[in-house]
Amino acid sequence: MKRGSISIVGAGPGDPELITLKALRRIQNADVILYDRLVNEELLNYAPSEAVRIYCGKAPGLHSMPQEATERLMIRHAAAGSHVVRLKGGDPFVFGRGGEEALSAAAAGIPYEVIPGITSAVGAAASAGIPLTHRGVAASFAIVTGSRCQAEDSPVRWEALAHSVDTLVIYMGVSKLGDIRKELLGHGKDPQTPVALIENGTTVRERTVTGTLGNIDKVAAAMKISNPAIIIMGEVVKVRAELLSLEEAVRSQIG
């Protein structure tokens, strides 16, 4: 029997063309693909027709398959000799639980590899015209999950994040936006801090709305922003407006 293996693969932020060549090759040679909710399903078309496709998606408050069950399934198929591709949105090691899956594979003695992907913070921000760093404006950024905004066991250190970095990127935070805003304002972050919400970043359904820390919860509610979306806070958000203004000026001159 052939020896199986596991490839823990980042599919990128949504646009199927943003997957890496190495990741695409693994999909093309897969026997089994276990894929997540935020993976663009167009990528599954590159797999062999006989490849087994298994959905393992997790939506907020609704998991189609518990993480432990996903890991057992991944290992079982690999132990039976299959090349398993564990296909994950963004990057496997950025809020993707890829580390847990690598540890699970290693503990089971299954050969594995991790193939990076463009994480949503980088991909969605760039697609929306927001540089996470910008000379003279921002020299640092932090990525944090908003889903644990007020978790008692491992709370987010909002008091440190409020002032220690130039740009703050928050995943899985739309449903907790009011709490996040309250925490940051309570720790002295300027209510005039620019904020952008990017929904369905890098896809044809991408939508970006902007405001300030003082009003972004009202903006999000008025515009009905929903997941998947990321939150970006910092002066770099203003670069988007500058780009749009310059583009409009060029168009008016041409017209």
Among all residues, which ones are annotated catalytic? 36, 58, 172
Query: Closest Cα partner for 33 from 80, 83, 102, 76?
Result: 83
The length of the chain is 255
98-107 and 67-79 helices, crossing angle to 10°: 40
The phi and psi torsions of 28 (rounded to 5 degrees) equal -65, -20
**Within 10 Å of residue 164's Cβ, how many Cβ atoms?**
11
Q: How many CB atoms lie within 10 A of CB 151?
A: 10
Take residue 177 and report the two structure tokens written for it.
């936006």
Composition of the chain by helix, strand, coil, percent to 5: 35, 25, 40
Structure tokens at 236: 């770099």
